[in-house]
Structure 1
């Protein structure tokens, strides 16, 4: 349930994003999140991560303990064979 909530929140706030959410520890409160979107074009990695963390701020204070982010543009994801 939490995975789907996180995925939906990101997809609703980052235009044309592809979001993959996975459990890092098996406990459900440490998530790995990979987000592919051209909304990240021209933004430094820190700005990309801040964008996502601002979106997830409330979830982090309620249900999540930690997240590991990977943010990519479509071009970067294609180069890595992710899309």
Structure 2
């Protein structure tokens, strides 16, 4: 898995989101996601929305993903 693929998956699942992904080892990543859809939602709900864009890849191709999320 690449950081570019993760970025594309999150952007496809959360249209209009501003996404930055870091991680060079292919399994551990950090992502900053800014999205208008996060407005009024608690951080846990925001993180679940991001994880939903990645589906079954979490825990398989993506071993760890540290998230920072906020509403646009």
Pairwise same-fold verdict (TM > 0.5):
yes
How far did 1:27 drift?
Answer: 2.0
Structure with bigger helix share is: 1
How far did 1:22 drift?
Answer: 0.2
Higher relative contact order (CA 8 A, sep 6+): 2
Runs of at least 4 residues off by over 6 Å = none
- 5+ residue gaps, structure 1, are 75-83
Of residues 26, 29, 33, the one that matches 2:27 is: 29
Please say if residues 15 and 39 of structure 1, whose CA atoms lie closer than 8 Å, have aligned partners that are also in contact. Answer: no
What is the aligned residue count? 72
Instruction: State the match for 1:15 in structure 2.
Output: 15
The farther-off stretch of 50-59 and 4-13 is 50-59
- 5+ residue gaps, structure 2, are none
Please say if residues 7 and 20 of structure 2, whose CA atoms lie closer than 8 Å, have aligned partners that are also in contact. Answer: yes
In our comparison, the structure showing a higher alpha carbon Rg is: 1
